[in-house]
Amino acid sequence: MDYDVVIVGAGPTGATAAKKLAESGATVLLIDKRKFPADKPCGGGLPNRVIKRFPYIEPFIDAISYGSTTYSMGKKYAFEMKRKSPLLYTVSRKYFDNELVKLALSAGAEIKTETLVSNISINPSEVTIKLASKEKIASKILIGADGTRSLVAEKTGLRDKKQPICRCLVAEEYLSEKQIEKYYSKNRMVSLFIKTQGIAGYGWVFPKKNHVNIGLGEFESALPHNMPRANLKNVFSGFIEDLKSENMLPSNFEITNLKGGTLPIFPLKKTYTDRVLLCGDAAGFINPITGEGVYYAMASGEIAASVIQKALQNQSYDQKSLSIYQRLWWDDFGKDLRLLGRFNNQWGKSSEKIVRLLTKDKVFAKLIVGVTGGSISAREYRNKLILRFIYVLLKDKITK
């Protein structure tokens, strides 16, 4: 047997699992098609709970935002929130991902970069991973952490090819710290534009240390099947021009590093089979309201590693033994994802009312920001949020 565990995908999911497994003494190989340091289309915004759960990543934080402004589609309403404590941590994904890989390697994991997996076969005694170079690698267990279009999920029959996605475009461009403070203040205020340019999604501006991350995403799951999809490049161009006209970007600002990507919206029905576990984007672990995924990536990698540690101890690798993985992630964050997923279709509806209500009641606003941003549990605060929503609606009718 070549390895105890092979992990396809060396992003935050795979690196987190590799670190934990290697620290326990398992032999681990990471495989990734990219060469590190490797960039990824992503806003790079991390909710507070990522730092709380994985405090060792704190040195990799690029900047901290202490507030945000949320705009309705027509900018008729704007809700501003300022805090003394961090609202959002931001990272450079190129640096952040690379540092997580370094931690895994320091713990004893190995890595093959610029390496493509072409096939996977599972038999009673091992998993065989066939590479595009024709090399074959055997392991006891395989983790699929290879993103939305996961080859591992496809080859094991765990992914539905019609899985709903969010299409996104992202650009991260240099601005001096002086410029960052001029346009976004020392608090590095985040800007969110609900249904910008009319898309079923939102646009964002995340100011970092000396870069600004600008992006937008459209949730296809919120659109009728027969509705034409927006041309995101045209939408992005219009978004940039709007930001310039609102003095939120320099007039000579240029996009030089535009990247596109896709995100899953809902978790897969099944994330395990004989000798295989799926984590992160490969399993569909994404906040279906915001598209944030780093927390779920690292959390699922951590949970998978714990399950595999026990499997290695018991030498039991069939799906019955590994099924506890699904129960663990479901109890950890799956119930929140299910609840948030019920509101994903709101991206296809008008945003004016909800943003207006945010401006009417600070308690309601904090609950919405906390639940959608992932700093508080959706299922734990569900009833409180519903009651506050009813209260705000009644108050709004009375004061009209």
347 against 313, higher pLDDT? 313
Name the domain count of the chain: 3
Banded pLDDT at 210 (limits 50, 70, 90): very high
Distances 253 to 175, 180, 216, 249 between C-alpha atoms, Å: 9, 13, 17, 7
- Whether the CB-CB separation of 125 and 233 falls below 8 Å is answered with no
- The pLDDT of residue 35 is 95
Q: Residue 76: give its domain's CATH number.
A: 3.30.9.10
Of 77-86, 116-125, 141-150, 178-187, the one with minimum mean pLDDT is 77-86
Q: Residue 301: helix, strand or coil by DSSP?
A: helix
In a domain, residue 171? The reply is: yes
What confidence score (pLDDT) does residue 395 get? 67
Question: pLDDT at position 24, please?
Answer: 97
Least confident interval from 138-147, 214-223, 274-283: 214-223
User: For residue 1, what pLDDT band results from cuts at 50, 70 and 90?
Assistant: low
Kind of pairing between the strands at 126-131 and 117-123:
antiparallel
Order of strands across the sheet that contains 63-65:
45-46, 88-90, 63-65
Does one domain contain both 148 and 292? yes
Work out the number of other CB atoms within 10 angstroms of the CB of residue 55.
Answer: 9
pLDDT at 397 over 70: no
Among 249, 264, 279, the domain boundary falls at 264
Verify that 244 and 335 share a domain, yes or no: no
Q: What is the mean pLDDT of residues 201-217?
A: 96
DSSP-assigned letters across all residues of 145-203: ---TT-HHHHHTT-S-TT--EEEEEEEEEE--HHHHHHHHTTTT-EEEEETGGG-SEEE
- Write out the residue range of the structural domain in which residue 313 sits: 3-42+94-162+266-341
Looking at the domain assignment, is residue 211 inside a domain?
yes
Flag whether pLDDT at 59 surpasses 80. yes
For residue 302, being part of any structural domain is answered with yes
Residue 250 shares a structural domain with residue 304: no
Assigned domain for 57 exists: no
* Same domain (yes/no): 38, 125: yes
Task: Write down the pTM of the prediction.
Answer: 0.93
The answer to whether residue 58 is domain-embedded is no
Mean pLDDT of all residues in 301-312:
98
Return the sign of the alpha-carbon dihedral for residues 8, 11, 17, 21.
positive
Identify whether the C-beta of residue 333 lies closer than 8 Å to the C-beta of residue 299. Answer: yes
| Same domain (yes/no): 105, 200 | no
pLDDT digits (tens, 9 = 90+) for 322-377: 999 999 999 999 999 998 888 888 787 776 777 877 888 788 778 777 877 777 77
Q: Are residues 154 and 187 in the same domain?
A: no
Q: List, in order, residues 6 or more apart from 66 with CB less than 8 Å away.
A: 82, 83, 84, 85, 86, 87, 187, 188, 189
Residue 227 — pLDDT band, cuts 50, 70, 90?
Answer: confident
| pLDDT range class, residue 398, cuts 50, 70, 90 | low
Least confident of 23-32, 82-91, 94-103: 82-91
For the chain, what is the radius of gyration of the CA atoms?
Answer: 22
Averaged pLDDT of the chain: 92
Same domain, 110 and 218: no
In a domain, 59, yes or no: no
Question: Do 173 and 256 lie in a common domain?
Answer: yes
Boundary (domain end) residue, out of 341, 356, 387:
341
Close Cβ partners of 114 (under 8 Å, ≥ 6 residues apart) = 32, 33, 34, 35
Do 251 and 199 fall within a single domain?
A: yes
Which of 245, 264, 283 terminates a domain? The answer is 264
Query: Does residue 383 belong to any structural domain of this protein?
Result: yes
Same domain, yes or no: 243 and 185: yes
Same domain, 82 and 178: yes
Mean pLDDT of 275-283: 97
> Residue 151 above 80 pLDDT?
yes
- In a domain? residue 49: no
User: What percentage of the chain exceeds 90 in pLDDT?
Assistant: 74
Residue 210 gets which letter from DSSP?
S
Question: Minimal CA–CA distance to 31: which of 121, 137, 186, 171?
Answer: 137
Share of the chain above pLDDT 70, in %: 98
| The pLDDT of residue 255 is above 80 | yes
Domain of residue 122, CATH code: 3.50.50.60
Give the pLDDT score at 76. 83
> At residue 93, does pLDDT exceed 90?
yes
The answer to whether residues 81 and 198 belong to one domain is: yes
